[in-house]
Amino acid sequence: MALPWARLASFLGRRSILLQLIALGFLAGLVLARLGVVTHWQYVAAAVVLSVVVTLRKSPVAWFVLLVAALQLGILRGQAVLASFAELREHIGEDVVMVGRLEDDTTAARQYQTEFHISDIHILQDGEPEAVDGRVVVRGFAEATLQRGDVVRVEGKLTQSLGNNQAQISYAEIKLIGEDRTILGRARNAFFAGNRTALPEPQASLGMGFLVGLRALLPETLLNNLSATGLTHIVAASGYNLTVLVRLTRRLLAKHSKFIATATAVGLIVGFMAATGISPSIFRAAVVSGLSLAAWYWGRPITAWMVLLFSAAVTAGANPTYIWQDIGWYLSFAAFFGVLIIAPTITARLYQERQPGALTQLLIETFCAQIMALPIIMLIFDELSLLALPANMIILPFIPFAMLLTFVAALGGVFAPAIVGWFAWPADWVLTTMLYIIDWLAGVPWASIQLSLSAWQLVGVYGAIGIWLTVMRLRVRGSMDTYKTVID
């Protein structure tokens, strides 16, 4: 009996395993905080000190104490965030006047309303502004064109909201009181104008959807076609798009200098987040890309499980509402699990020690991401796109080229509008081809059907996937070393 325990102690004593346990415990603590479990900072401090002591002594119980300490930290973080929302929630059900800053670009809502999210909120009471924490989704009618970063005055009834918002106002009266005049804001507007100069519609809007997740200008017909074919995510502020840009930048510059490649990629991550806003998918991709870049730069291996749990803990710790009620966060990590855990398993099973081609690898990753995200989509949206898998396999390989060519076309529109046609025709050709394929696929009568899953069925599906994955990974254990990192 001593040998198995020694092996278990050795396994749990690995630094990477301890870090994964800390991340897992922290995530569990956030969930418990949302369920009403409370703690006190004294307990947290005691647990942290005890965990440091047992870790330094390499005690066999170190993993358990670390797990408890991380759990306490997660509960404490969750408590703090819930308490910060209390002032905003006191006004639920009241007619309010508030001032806030747009977090994102506007989109079209029901009955011709404009929809956006505001933060940095001040509620006006008797003419005096009261600062409150939280995020409010606003739907209403605005006299002026609004852009991310603008400051608006909103008047309407504050009600409860779902998802990653603490409240909402519908049919609001909206007034623009301050524009985003920062250097970044002006540069962003100039880039958008250059894109519209270079490309016709809907190619221009589709290209900006790829680059920065701007969907407000996409025609309703195209949005419906994207939904029917399971391609809506390609025009969202997608972590996939950021990952593509970071990988491409690193591979192009690595041959010249590892430092320049890393610094440029980090600058790209920061710039992309500044241009698109911090959605759950973008935040997750930024953490993953940053972690992978650091490991690549210093030559340290990093496992898929480490990246998955660490990025989940960082993103949820920064904004616990992600793990509490944000479907986008769960969809992002479900797809991420498919790419990092399931795809390497299938690849190892099919190719053993060989490496598949880039296109084959992309198709396998796309398939696995779709399989993991599909149950959540069916639970929430009661819809199954029968063409989602083939549509993604056909369209996704085009996206890196479309992003690069749209970027070049937009720069041409900014700096050389007189000859912008020479810069724009490659992007126009690629985007037009993609639009034709999307339109053709959406025209298939059975492109999507109404089909739903219950919560218990969802658990059953993921349980079956977990059992299958465990069996498969045991069979291909010898071949997994080739695919266990996410640096490339």
pLDDT tens for 181-236 read 777 777 777 888 888 888 888 888 888 887 776 666 677 788 888 878 877 777 66
What is the structure's pLDDT at 485?
42
Who wins on pLDDT, 371 or 111?
371
Who wins on pLDDT, 77 or 335?
77
Say whether both 36 and 111 belong to one domain: no
Say whether both 132 and 78 belong to one domain: no
Work out the average pLDDT over 127-147: 83
> Which pTM value belongs to this model?
0.78
Let me know if residue 473 belongs to a domain: yes
pLDDT of 4 higher than 60: no
Residue 175 pairs in a beta bridge with 153
pLDDT of 483 higher than 50: no
- Strands 383-385 and 128-132 turn out to be unpaired
Work out the average pLDDT over 118-144: 84
Q: State CA 167 to chain mean position distance.
A: 21
What is the structure's pLDDT at 28?
92
- Which range is most confident: 54-58, 299-303, 397-401, 481-485? 397-401
H-state helical runs in 199-257: 203-212, 220-228, 239-253
End of a domain among 180, 200, 223?
A: 180
End of a domain among 50, 82, 114?
A: 82
Who wins on pLDDT, 225 or 271?
225
Instruction: List own/partner pairs for 322-328 with CB under 8 A and 24 or more apart.
Output: 322/164, 322/280, 323/27, 323/30, 323/31, 323/34, 324/30, 324/31, 324/34, 325/162, 325/163, 325/164, 326/163, 326/164, 326/280, 327/163, 327/376, 327/380, 328/164, 328/279, 328/280, 328/281
Structural domain that includes position 387: 190-483
Say whether both 194 and 287 belong to one domain: yes
The mean pLDDT of the chain is 80
Let me know if residue 488 belongs to a domain: no
CATH code for position 103: 2.40.50.140
Say whether both 135 and 149 belong to one domain: yes
What is the structure's pLDDT at 487?
42
388-401 pLDDT per residue, tens: 878 888 887 788 78
Say whether both 225 and 259 belong to one domain: yes
Let me know if residue 325 belongs to a domain: yes
17-34 pLDDT per residue, tens: 778 888 898 999 999 998
Say whether both 371 and 465 belong to one domain: yes
Say whether both 455 and 397 belong to one domain: yes
End of a domain among 54, 82, 110?
A: 82
Work out the average pLDDT over 249-271: 81
Say whether both 405 and 359 belong to one domain: yes
Let me know if residue 185 belongs to a domain: no
What is the structure's pLDDT at 239?
63
What is the structure's pLDDT at 50?
66
Let me know if residue 289 belongs to a domain: yes
Say whether both 46 and 148 belong to one domain: no
Say whether both 433 and 405 belong to one domain: yes
What is the structure's pLDDT at 54?
61
Name the domain count of the chain: 3
What is the structure's pLDDT at 30?
92
What is the structure's pLDDT at 405?
87
Say whether both 297 and 411 belong to one domain: yes
Say whether both 324 and 394 belong to one domain: yes
What is the structure's pLDDT at 437?
92
- Strands 128-132 and 114-125 turn out to be antiparallel
pLDDT of 92 higher than 50: yes
What percentage of residues in the chain have a pLDDT greater than 90? Answer: 8
pLDDT of 112 higher than 80: no
What is the structure's pLDDT at 452?
78
Let me know if residue 143 belongs to a domain: yes
